[in-house]
Amino acid sequence: MDISERMSALLTALHMTPYQLAKELGYRAPEKIYTIINRKSKPGFDTLTDILNRFDELSSEWLMRGDGEMFKKDSNQTAPDIHLGSSPVAAAGPKSPIGGGEPTREEPLVPATDKPAESRLEGGTADEAYWRGKSVRPLAVTVDRLGNDTILLVPIKAQAGYRQRYFDLEYIKELSSFTLPNFNTGTYRAFEVEGDSMHPTIRHSDFVICSYVENWEYIRPRHVYVIITPEYVLVKRIAGDLKDKKTWVELESDNRFYTPAYRLPVNEIREVWQVRGILTTQIPANLYEAQERLVTVIETLGRNATDTQSLVKDLISRLAIKELEE
């Protein structure tokens, strides 16, 4: 069993997701955990130390070399009690509140099924209902005086609350709403974008206008979606056909500095919204500025090359004349 397999086994024993483990270790994002599980990198000494310091019952021999049992022999339990936010999560698997600081529900909003999370999408009636949106909680919406759905505005500062209370009609009523032409049929959200991972397609502080995706079988590969998880509001391209990726889904950024794509457990997804439009105040002054600069550089190099050739020919002819004179 290599280190990636041991990390996966540890998450299973602790009844935690990579997001939850990263949060427990004080990391801002789960990428470090994902790269270990996906065999893209090995954990550094600092990461191993963080894990061992957080979980006293964990055997360092097992974690670092795979020797012995996962938990120390003198431990009175198979797995330790973990605290997420302000509420304990027992190793036997009691349901935990999502997040902290906001009103919470006692169970994550996922389809009603007794199957473990990692196997929820492996076939069967409950799984079909999950993918097609038939067993997901009702969608909270607001309407105008004429009964038309309005577009709810979810700015960056409100997204922490939205991740935890997207199902709560009382919370939804607190959000601002507006209408736009051609966006009055269906359920829409406007999410403010944080960061530059989707640059240049979508920029920081842009608002993406999204339609709700109830049936995930209709998700279109390589299109841009907003994915809601208990930890993040993600704006990404979904790589490949989501319904064929039963346990994980790969999310891609347009910004080449955010590579490679990372894998998100499907059972962490709470909502999916397809981006239909962008509200932006950041129109570039010259769309082809970079291209024009490149053309100028190439032309300059070409002229310099011609000048250099002329200089070399002149020097050669002078040397030849000098040799004849001698």
Per-residue pLDDT tens over the stretch 286-322:
666 666 666 676 677 676 666 667 766 666 676 666 5
287 located within any domain:
no
229 located within any domain:
yes
The DSSP symbol for 39 reads T
55 located within any domain:
yes
Residue 43 confidence (pLDDT): 84
- The answer on 159 and 71 residing in a single domain is no
pLDDT at 268 over 70: yes
For 64, the enclosing helix (H) or strand (E) is helix 60-65
CATH number assigned to the domain comprising residue 172: 2.10.109.10
Out of 96, 114, 132, pick the residue that ends a domain: 96
Residue 158 confidence (pLDDT): 93
- The answer on 240 and 168 residing in a single domain is yes
Residue 112, C-beta contacts closer than 8 angstroms, at least 6 positions apart: 126, 135
Residue type, 215: N
Place of tokens 């994902």: 34
46 located within any domain:
yes
118 located within any domain:
no
- Binning pLDDT at 50, 70 and 90, where does residue 37 land? confident
**Token digits of residue 117:** 């999370």
Domain count, the chain: 2
130 located within any domain:
no
CATH number assigned to the domain comprising residue 86: 1.10.260.40
Is there a contact between 263 and 249 (Cβ–Cβ < 8 Å)? Answer: yes
Residue 319, C-beta contacts closer than 8 angstroms, at least 6 positions apart: none
pTM of the model: 0.52
203 located within any domain:
yes
- The answer on 158 and 256 residing in a single domain is yes
Residue 2, C-beta contacts closer than 8 angstroms, at least 6 positions apart: 39, 66
Q: In what order do the strands lie in the sheet with 151-154?
A: 177-178, 151-154, 188-192, 207-212, 271-279, 224-228, 233-239, 248-252, 262-265
- The answer on 165 and 88 residing in a single domain is no
Residue 205 confidence (pLDDT): 94
116 located within any domain:
no
- Show the domain range for 263: 151-279
**Token digits of residue 136:** 């997901």
Per-residue pLDDT tens over the stretch 269-287:
889 999 999 999 988 776 6
- The answer on 274 and 157 residing in a single domain is yes
